[in-house]
Every structure is written in structure tokens, then in C-alpha cells.
Amino acid sequence: MIEKTDRDSLLKDEYLHIQSVIESFDGRMLTIKAWSVSFSLAALGGAFAAHVAEVLLIASLSAFMFWLIEGFWKTFQYAHYNRSVKIEEYFAGTGEDLVPMQIGSSWLVQWKRGGRARLVRIMTWPHVYLPHGAVFALGILLYCLCVIGLITV
């Protein structure tokens, strides 16, 4: 049996590690957004420079793929929150007794719990949707306008 002071120390370390992991995801998501904007907007401009409307679809597809990647990253990040909250409740005296060093098993249970519905819901959040969803929609709109002859590339 683990002593309470040892358990508390391990849980504190676990909590601080989880918080660090959660924060590190935000930095990665900014990188994903930067890649998305760089490639997708360059492709939109490239469609007009090359006079090839189909490149608009490539720009839209790339924006969608970056959007999907960010959505998955967000599901990975959010799978850590449950364990973090449980540790906070434990230290506040309102939660159950916890076994330390359960990051992996807790994460897996939480990540599987949401399924595709959670991914779709997360992808509609404005801070996840932007800029990917906007570039995706713009590329599709511009392509449709080209097809019906309202604009030319």
C-alpha cells in the first residue's frame, strides 16, 4: 500500500505533467494553423496565377486535411482533461481516492469515449474551425463560381 504523502507527491507530479502536455498541444496547433494558411492560401493564389481552377480544389482539400488534423489533435488534448479534473478534485477533498501514474489508461478511456461525434463537434468550434474551414469553404466557393462562369482564374 502506498503512503498518503507518497501518493500525494506522485499525483502532484502527474497533475503538473498533464498540464504541461495539455499546454504543449496548443503550440502544436498553432504550427498546424501556420502550415495550413501557408499552403492553402498559396494554392488558392496559385490557381489564379496558373489559370487552373482545379487547383482551388487542391487548396480546399489541403485546408480540410489540416482542419481534420487539428480536430484529431484537439481530441488527443481533451482526453487528458478528465484525469486532470479528477486529481484537482482529489486535492480539493471532493473527489475519490486515486491511484497515481494512470495517465495512459485514463487518456485511452477518455479518447475512446467521444468517438467520431466528438471529433465532428470539436471541428465546429471557432478556434478549431478557423482558418482551415474558412479556406476550405472559400476554395469550394471559388471553384463553383468558376464552373458556372461567374469568375475566371
Domain boundaries defined on the chain: 4-147
What is the pLDDT at residue 114? 83
Number of neighbours of residue 80 by Cβ within 10 angstroms? 20
Whole-number Å distance between alpha carbons of 7 and 35:
42
Counting residues of the chain whose pLDDT is more than 70, the rounded percentage is 100
Q: What is the pLDDT of residue 148?
A: 97
pTM of the model: 0.88
Q: Residue 1: is its pLDDT beyond 80? A: no
Taking alpha carbons only, the member of 131, 153, 143, 151 closest to residue 36 is 131
pLDDT of residue 2: 86
**Residue 26's pLDDT band (cuts 50, 70, 90):** very high
pLDDT above 90 covers what percent of the chain? 97
